[in-house]
C-alpha cells in the first residue's frame, strides 16, 4: 500500500498530464527503499605495517665533573710562600712551576753542611796519614822484636829486652788498628754529610712547587707569605688534561642496557645544541638508597662545558631496522599486548610481542608482518570479527 500511496502523491504533484513520470517514480521506489535498509559500516582509521629504523635509548641526568682531580701540595714543610706563578683558569704543563717557597733557611743549612763536608774530608786525610805512620811504626817494631828474639836465642840479649821489643810490636799493631778505624769513621762522616747535602739540595729543588700533570687549575688556596704545609689545604687543584665527564644517574632497570663505548647526546640546561659524548664506564654498584646506577660519560669537546653543570643524556643503546607500528595501535588484553588486524574489512584481534619504543613507534618483535593493516587508534572499540570501513592513513 505504501508504494501505491507514494505513487499517488507523486502523480498528484506532477499532475494528471504526467502518468509516465508517476510510473517511473513508482518503479524507482523499491531500490531506494532497499538502499535505506542497508546498514552503514563504521569508518575506522587504519595503517599499514612497515619496517622502520628505531633507536633504543636510555635517558639519564647528572652533573659535569672532572675525570680526575689532582691536588698540588708542598713537598717540604714550614717554608713561607714567596712567589705565585699561576692562578685559577690557567692551563699548565706537567712540571711547570706554580709557586716558589723561601730558600733562606735551606741555604743556611747547605752552607753548614758544606763546611762539615770540608772538615770531614780533612779528617779523612789526617786519618790516612796517621794510618801510614802507625803502619810504619808497627812494621819497625815487628822487625826489632824479631831481631831481639834472635839475639836472645843466641844469648846475646836479655830476656827483658826481648819482652820489651815484643810488647812494642804489639802496641804498634794496635795503633794501626786504631788508625784504620779512625779512617773508616772519617769516611763514614763524609758519607753522612754527603747525604745531608743531597737532602738539602732536594729540599731546595722542592721550593719550586710544580704541577705533576698537565691540565687546568680550578682552585688556588696558596697565598704569598703563608706557611706551606702538606697537612692543610692543597695549594692548587688541577683537572688532569682538562678532561670533563658527565656523572649520569641511570635507573636501575636500565643500567644493564648501558655499556662502555655507546654514543651519547648531551643537552645542557639552557643550551640549544647537543654535545657528543661516549660512555666511558658503568659503575658496578647500585646506590642502596636511591636505587640508581652511575654511568660516566666522557665529553668529546670539554671546552663547551664547565664542572658543576647539569645535563640530560640520551644514551644510544641500539639502532636497527625493525617491523614497527604506531604506539596507538597497541592495546592490552589479559596483560598481553594486542593489535586489531584488518583483512577484507574484517577485524581480528592478535597478540604481539613488542620491543623498542621510539618517538611514537614501537617494534613488533613477533605477531605482525610488513604489509598487514592494523587499526590505528580505535582498537578498544572494535571487537574480534567486526566488519568495518577501513580508512587508510599514511604515517
**Nine cell digits for residue 39:** 546498514
**What is the arithmetic mean of pLDDT over 302-329?**
89
pLDDT for 165: 83
- Is the predicted pLDDT of residue 280 greater than 90, yes or no? yes
DSSP assignment, residue 255?
A: G
Of the pLDDT bands very low, low, confident and very high (cuts 50, 70, 90), residue 170 is confident
pTM of the entire predicted model: 0.62
* Co-location of 109 and 197 in the same domain: yes
**What is the arithmetic mean of pLDDT over 261-286?**
91
Is residue 127 within 8 A of residue 200, CB to CB? The reply is no
**What is the arithmetic mean of pLDDT over 171-186?**
89
Query: Which of 155, 188, 205 is the C-terminal boundary of a domain?
Result: 205
Higher pLDDT, 16 or 262: 262
pLDDT for 236: 95
In whole angstroms, give the CA distance from residue 238 to residue 99. Answer: 14
CA-closest candidate to residue 229, choices 74, 71, 84, 82: 74
In whole angstroms, give the CA distance from residue 192 to residue 253. Answer: 65
What are the strands, taking DSSP E only, across 183-326?
208-210, 215-220, 236-240, 244-251, 263-268, 275-282, 292-299, 310-326
pLDDT for 37: 53
**What is the arithmetic mean of pLDDT over 18-34?**
45
In whole angstroms, give the CA distance from residue 171 to residue 305. Answer: 85
Phi then psi for residue 48, to 5 deg, are -95, 140
Percent of the chain past pLDDT 90, that is, above it, reads 43
DSSP assignment, residue 209?
A: E
Q: Look at residue 315 and tell me if it is in a domain.
A: yes
Of the pLDDT bands very low, low, confident and very high (cuts 50, 70, 90), residue 256 is very high
CA-closest candidate to residue 168, choices 143, 202, 131: 143
Write the CATH number for 330: 2.40.420.20
- 203-230 pLDDT, tens digit per residue, is 999 999 999 999 999 999 999 999 988 8
**Nine cell digits for residue 281:** 664506564
In whole angstroms, give the CA distance from residue 168 to residue 306. Answer: 88
* Co-location of 326 and 292 in the same domain: no
Facing residues of 156 across strands?
Answer: none
* Co-location of 213 and 267 in the same domain: no
What's the gap between Cα 280 and its chain centre? Answer: 5
In whole angstroms, give the CA distance from residue 315 to residue 57. Answer: 5
* Co-location of 82 and 228 in the same domain: yes
Q: Look at residue 92 and tell me if it is in a domain.
A: yes
**What is the arithmetic mean of pLDDT over 324-335?**
84
* Co-location of 85 and 227 in the same domain: yes
* Co-location of 296 and 359 in the same domain: no
3-state secondary structure of 313: strand
| 187 contacts: CB under 8 Å, gap ≥ 6 | 124
Query: Which of 271, 287, 320 is the C-terminal boundary of a domain?
Result: 320
* Count of CA atoms in the C-beta half-sphere (13 A) of 99: 28
CA-closest candidate to residue 343, choices 388, 310, 280, 277: 388
Q: Look at residue 156 and tell me if it is in a domain.
A: yes
**Nine cell digits for residue 33:** 527503499
pLDDT for 36: 53
* Co-location of 362 and 337 in the same domain: yes
pLDDT for 379: 65
Angle between helix 104-154 and helix 159-205 axes, rounded to 10 deg: 160
* Co-location of 294 and 353 in the same domain: no
Q: Which domain holds residue 268?
A: 58-65+239-320
**What is the arithmetic mean of pLDDT over 106-134?**
90
pLDDT for 295: 95
pLDDT for 147: 83
Q: Look at residue 70 and tell me if it is in a domain.
A: no
- Is the predicted pLDDT of residue 116 greater than 60, yes or no? yes
* Co-location of 113 and 198 in the same domain: yes
pLDDT for 395: 67
3-state secondary structure of 241: coil
**What is the arithmetic mean of pLDDT over 84-109?**
93
pLDDT for 134: 87
* Co-location of 234 and 86 in the same domain: yes
* Co-location of 87 and 217 in the same domain: yes
The structural domain count of the chain equals 5
Q: Look at residue 298 and tell me if it is in a domain.
A: yes
Amino acid at each position: 500500500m505504501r508504494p501505491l500511496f507514494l505513487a499517488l502523491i507523486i502523480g498528484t504533484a506532477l499532475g494528471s498530464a504526467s502518468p509516465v513520470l508517476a510510473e517511473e517514480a513508482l518503479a524507482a521506489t523499491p531500490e531506494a527503499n532497499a538502499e535505506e535498509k542497508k546498514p552503514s559500516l563504521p569508518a575506522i582509521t587504519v595503517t599499514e605495517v612497515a619496517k622502520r629504523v628505531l633507536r633504543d635509548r636510555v635517558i639519564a641526568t647528572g652533573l659535569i665533573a672532572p675525570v680526575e682531580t689532582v691536588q698540588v701540595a708542598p713537598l717540604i714543610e714550614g717554608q713561607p710562600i714567596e712567589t705565585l706563578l699561576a692562578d685559577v683558569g690557567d692551563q699548565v704543563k706537567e712540571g711547570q712551576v706554580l709557586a716558589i717557597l723561601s730558600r733562606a733557611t735551606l741555604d743556611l743549612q747547605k752552607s753548614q753542611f758544606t763546611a762539615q763536608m770540608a772538615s770531614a774530608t780533612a779528617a779523612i786525610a789526617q786519618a790516612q796519614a796517621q794510618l801510614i805512620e802507625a803502619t810504619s811504626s808497627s812494621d819497625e817494631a815487628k822487625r826489632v822484636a824479631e831481631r831481639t828474639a834472635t839475639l836472645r836465642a843466641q844469648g846475646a840479649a836479655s830476656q827483658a829486652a826481648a819482652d820489651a821489643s815484643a810488647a812494642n810490636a804489639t802496641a804498634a799493631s794496635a795503633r794501626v788498628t786504631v788508625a784504620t778505624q779512625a779512617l773508616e769513621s772519617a769516611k763514614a762522616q763524609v758519607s753522612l754529610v754527603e747525604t745531608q747535602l743531597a737532602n738539602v739540595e732536594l729540599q731546595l729543588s722542592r721550593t719550586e712547587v710544580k704541577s705533576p700533570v698537565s691540565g687546568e687549575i680550578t682552585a688556588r688556596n696558596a697565598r704569598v707569605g703563608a706557611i706551606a704545609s702538606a697537612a692543610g689545604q692543597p695549594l692548587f687543584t688541577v683537572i688532569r688534561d682538562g678532561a670533563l665527564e658527565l656523572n649520569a644517574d641511570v635507573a636501575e632497570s636500565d643500567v644493564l642496557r648501558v655499556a662502555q663505548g655507546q654514543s651519547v647526546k648531551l643537552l645542557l640546561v639552557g643550551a640549544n645544541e647537543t654535545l657528543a659524548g661516549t660512555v666511558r664506564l658503568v659503575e658496578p654498584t647500585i646506590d642502596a638508597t636511591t636505587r640508581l646506577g652511575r654511568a660516566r660519560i666522557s665529553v668529546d669537546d670539554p671546552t663547551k662545558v664547565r664542572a658543576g653543570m647539569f645535563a640530560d643524556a640520551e644514551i644510544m643503546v641500539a639502532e636497527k631496522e625493525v617491523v614497527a607500528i604506531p604506539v596507538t595501535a597497541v592495546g592490552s588484553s589479559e596483560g598481553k599486548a594486542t593489535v586489531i588486524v584488518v583483512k577484507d574489512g574484517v577485524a581480528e584481534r592478535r597478540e604481539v610481542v613488542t620491543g623498542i619504543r621510539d618517538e611514537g613507534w614501537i617494534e613488533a618483535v613477533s605477531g605482525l608482518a610488513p604489509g598487514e593493516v592494523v587499526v590505528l587508534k580505535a582498537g578498544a572499540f572494535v571487537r574480534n570479527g567486526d566488519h568495518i570501513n577501513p580508512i587508510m592513513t599514511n604515517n
